[in-house]
Structure 1
């Protein structure tokens, strides 16, 4: 038997104002998208904004449905739209902001597992890391240099052949 160890590195900024200006602007777009989320069941609103290598900024927010599995997270809403409208473009970075109407969200909130899997598919496809920045409604902002950093044992097309 052998041991396999994988580590993840996350960088944490004290707040939005400590970010580089271009990243802060992208996060502002995510916060704006969050304000348009449709989350009447969970009261948990998420916004995402992603920057493509062609300069386009795509936003998305969570869209819930009374039939719970039919809803879609903000990250997947944005990345699927980018993939359908700009199939040749690479995703450079994504900013995510989440808030709850029930409790304070002042620590970084990472993407869920389903979103990590969807995002890593694009990272593998484009052969280029996607930088992730994520936060709650306020407070610290976490940075991951890639999606794979958050999902180290990736399930991708290589296991299907």
Structure 2
């Protein structure tokens, strides 16, 4: 089985205001992350179909498996409060541990599978916007671009 993977590279200033605002919110959220062990602060923001936006950040715990990623906190919160409203776009920004700027980061495996669940529930791809150094932005037009062999597609 062959799959083509495509990520679109942009500069922050080349994006429209909707993308820029989501990235701005993700960057602000990253500033408030609770990451005393790794110092890797991740922020995420989401645009819902009803026009509302929300943000979240990662929350670490000294017992590392207990921490939770920004993306999963954010998607869990929005689904708990707006269970019938489709998420359209998800932006992610991560501060480097040495606080010298932003790192290019993609959702981890757990987050990728979680994103996949929301795409499946709403039968709609979730655009994933990843902010990186030098104002570079990478956009995936759905989780298939980051997780081409999702767990639920293994038996197809």
Give the whole-Å Cα distance in 2 for the aligned partners of 1:40 and 1:154: 32
The structure where helix makes up a greater share of residues is 2
Structure 1: give runs of 5+ residues left out of the alignment: none
Provide the TM-score with structure 1 as the length reference.
0.89
Q: Is 1:102 the equivalent of 2:98?
A: yes
The number of aligned residues is 155
**Cα deviation, residue 106, structure 1:** 4.9
TM-score for both structures, normalised by structure 2: 0.92
Tell me, in whole angstroms, the C-alpha distance in 1 between the residues paired with 2:14 and 2:93.
Answer: 16
| Partner in structure 1 of residue 43 of structure 2 | 47
1:80 maps to 76
- Runs of 4+ residues deviating >4 angstroms: 103-107
Alignment root-mean-square deviation, CA:
1.8
2:111 aligns to what? 115
Map of 1:12 onto structure 2 = 9
How far does the alpha carbon of each residue in 1:103-130 deviate from its partner, in whole angstroms, 9 at most, with x for none?
A: 7555531111111011110011100110
Note the C-alpha offset of 1:138: 4.6
- Structure 2 unpaired stretches of 5+: none
User: Offset at 1:102?
Assistant: 2.3
Q: Deviations over 1:64-107 (max 9, x none)?
A: 00111010001111001011111001000011001113275555
Residue matched to 1:58: 54
